[in-house]
Amino acid sequence: MFTSNLDPVFFSIGSFEIRYYSLVYLLAFILAFFVVNHFRKKGMLEITKDQTYDLIFYILVGVIVGARFFHVFIFNPDYYVTNPSEILAIWHGGVSYHGGLLGALLAAWLFSKKHKVSLAKIADIVVLPTVLMLAFGRIANFMNAELLGKVTTSSWCVNFSGHEGCRHPTQLYAAAYRFLIFGYLLFIKNKKPGFLFWNYILLEGVGRFIVDFYREDTTLAALTGGQWLSIAMIGIAIYILIKKYKKA
């Protein structure tokens, strides 16, 4: 049993503060820029340096809009219908992983069409810093005492300040499987464009599906919304990996 009294604030001056959660995602986009720029210099992505900035901006906007849209209109529409002033108040919290993923994919697709660049190549390059920072993001969720797990009597349960019961540290479960995915992707030798990305989608779907059994989320037909979307991720990934990469 562990009692969590971690301070989620990294730095503050008066009322201004920078939280670890915000810092993780800021660093994620900075890291993504350097990774994309590195592969651009090696000739593995046919874009200019200015276009690299554009790509990261596209993805940033896509992630924010997609993540917020799903949280508001897919997962919590009843609350926001009665509290419309909160729809744009993203600083109060509330984003969806699946929405952010779809938003990022749509943004990258628009960029690829505009600049005639392979979307599969972009996805393979961006996925590595993405999964790494998602892992650290879940650690930040743990520090924020959010995305809580169910109450349990397990010896490794965590007491979060302000919440009743000792709970599964599902944030750390999610961080752990993403670190494992990151390690696995580093050693995949198949270089056919898109193979890395679709392996990530498959493994992320499996990991999220399992971890959500321990999260305190609302359910529909015994599964959480995240699990239903993860089933879709798993099915699509398996189909594409078999169809396009079986002989690769």
Coil vs helix vs strand at 12: strand
Nearest to 225 by CA among 206, 238, 212, 235: 212
184 burial type by CB count under 10 A (0-12 exposed, 13-18 middle, 19+ buried): middle
79-110 per-position pLDDT tens digit: 898 988 888 877 666 788 889 999 999 999 99
For residue 92, the model assigns a pLDDT of 64
Average pLDDT of the chain, as a whole number:
89
pLDDT more than 90, % of the chain: 59
Report how far Cα 30 is from the mean position of its chain's Cα atoms: 16
Q: DSSP class of residue 190?
A: -
Domain boundaries, the chain: 2-46+117-245
Whether the CB-CB separation of 133 and 24 falls below 8 Å is answered with yes
What's the confidence (pLDDT) of residue 205? 97
- The answer to whether the beta carbons of residues 104 and 62 sit under 8 Å apart is yes
Buried b (16+ CB within 10 A) or exposed e, 99-119: bbbbbbbebbeebbeeeebeb
Q: Which helix (H) or strand (E) holds 18?
A: strand 16-19
Summarised one tens digit per residue, pLDDT across range 132-179 is 989 998 998 898 888 899 999 999 999 998 889 999 999 999 999 999
**Which H helix or E strand runs over 219?**
strand 219-220
Residue type, 43: G
Distance between CA atoms of residues 144 and 138, nearest Å: 10
Backbone phi, then psi, for 17, in 5-degree steps? -145, 150
Per-residue pLDDT tens digits for 17-43: 777 778 888 888 999 999 999 999 998
123 pLDDT higher than 60: yes
Cα–Cα distance measured from residue 26 to residue 133, given in angstroms and rounded to the nearest whole number: 10
As a whole number of Å, the end-to-end CA separation of the chain is 47
> What pLDDT does residue 248 have?
54
pTM for this one?
0.88
CB-based contact 137:21 (threshold 8 Å) = yes
Query: What pLDDT sits at residue 190?
Result: 64
